[in-house]
Chain A
Amino acid sequence: LAKTTQPISMDSYEGQEVNITCSHNNIATNDYITWYQQFPSQGPRFIIQGYKTKVTNEVASLFIPADRKSSTLSLPRVSLSDTAVYYCLVGDGDSNYQLIWGAGTKLIIKP
């Protein structure tokens, strides 16, 4: 099975840019890399998804190198409300259906 690795926690300050990296080996060659945000007692909320290079939407950017063995979620100018747990999700390279979750990065934004 594929395996993912994320930092357990990160701290930052309001207005700063935050980058969270997820390392993932043996991921499905035809699948996307997806990041979710989760607040306590809520379901994960989709943030951004990409296949390779760089993807940007209104809330984040996602950088994926050519070898797709990692991905970096970039949150520009964070605010207190960005305090949450962030997960990366990838498809397993050995299975047509198996999804592999990162352990989650608890991001704490300070004023």
Chain B
Amino acid sequence: NFMLTQPPSVSESPGQTVTISCTASGGNIGRNYVQWYQQRPTSAPTTVIYEDNQRPSGVPNRFSGSIDYSSNSASLTISGLKTEDEADYYCQSYTDINQAVFGGGTKLTVL
């Protein structure tokens, strides 16, 4: 079964850069696109990265996505951290039988 694994939590200071990883198992990370979603407390998720490294309109360029084929993982990098970036972040991709799969989520704390 294709699965995505994220660290439960990360923390960093305002102004710094943080990277959240998303490691695939049971399949190749590069076979399908990876998305990233931000969910602030008590709110619905929103998309911050789609198709590995594309930003929807309105998402600042402080957010970037990448794929590391050697480690079979995807990463979300947020630079110039702001307190408003404090949220849960989920990676998402697909199986070969048209199912979406989410990672377990990472809680970002901006200290």
A and B are partners in one complex rather than unrelated chains = no
